[in-house]
Amino acid sequence: MASRKANLADRILDKALELGEASSWEAVHLHDIAEQLDITLDDIRRHYPQKDDLVEAWFDRADQAVLREPASEAFLGLPERERFQRVVTRWLDALAPHRRLTRQMLAYKLEFGHIHLQVPGLMRISRTVQWFREAACLDTTGIQRILEESTLTAMYLKTFARWLLADTSTSR
């Protein structure tokens, strides 16, 4: 039963991404997804209580792409900075098929009046950086960890912003 539920959640997200690519994220409506998948709105609500939960699921997929990759000896032999860069690159590669849509999703979250989406977005940034640290096998503690997290968060946000704004016809 859990596998069937996960499969439906994936199908819902995939359909939302497909519809968003055909038009825009703002034009994605849950009732259209339900109609195209021949399910009810309640089926969607069970997996995604609000449209923004689809955005979170999209970012969860990128997180999963990073976390599924085991740390090889060659990877562990790299300098910490390079390991972190490779982890971030893997995350961005997972989002790359829907870069334009990802940009629209974030614009939707940042709209004036969407404070209920922006506050959890800050928590998402922190959680993502924590997983990046784990995937890069960074073991610092104490004040060094605190400073490192601040630096890595700034690096991640700058890289992500540049990636979002990059011309997709000339870059990945």
pLDDT (tens digit, 9 = 90+) per residue, 123-151?
A: 899 999 999 999 999 999 999 999 999 99
Looking at the structure, tell me whether residues 41 and 89 fall in a common domain. no
Count of the separate structural domains present in the chain: 2
Q: 44: domain CATH number?
A: 1.10.10
User: pLDDT tens-digit profile of 76-107?
Assistant: 999 999 999 999 999 999 999 999 999 999 88
Please tell me the number of Cα atoms within 13 Å of 170 on its side-chain side.
3
What is the value of pTM for the model shown? 0.88
Contact assessment for residue 41 and residue 31, using Cβ atoms and an 8 Å cutoff: yes
Q: What is the mean pLDDT of residues 34-56?
A: 96
What's the pLDDT score for residue 70? Answer: 86
Q: How far apart are CA 95 and CA 163, in angstroms?
A: 10
Looking at the structure, tell me whether residues 43 and 118 fall in a common domain. no
State the DSSP code for 1.
Answer: -
Q: How far apart are CA 154 and CA 85, in angstroms?
A: 13
Looking at the structure, tell me whether residues 82 and 62 fall in a common domain. yes
CA-CA-CA-CA torsion for 59, 67, 122, 138, nearest 10 degrees? -160
The amino acid occupying position 36 is Q
Nearest C-alpha neighbor of 93 from the set 63, 121, 137: 63
What's the pLDDT score for residue 2? Answer: 54
Looking at the structure, tell me whether residues 83 and 12 fall in a common domain. no
Q: Which domain holds residue 6?
A: 1-49
Q: How far apart are CA 111 and CA 123, in angstroms?
A: 17
What's the pLDDT score for residue 97? Answer: 96
3-state secondary structure of 65: helix
Q: 153: domain CATH number?
A: 1.10.357.10
State the DSSP code for 141.
Answer: -
What's the pLDDT score for residue 109? Answer: 81
State the DSSP code for 96.
Answer: G
The amino acid occupying position 59 is F
Q: How far apart are CA 17 and CA 32, in angstroms?
A: 12
Looking at the structure, tell me whether residues 8 and 75 fall in a common domain. no
Q: What is the mean pLDDT of residues 105-128?
A: 83
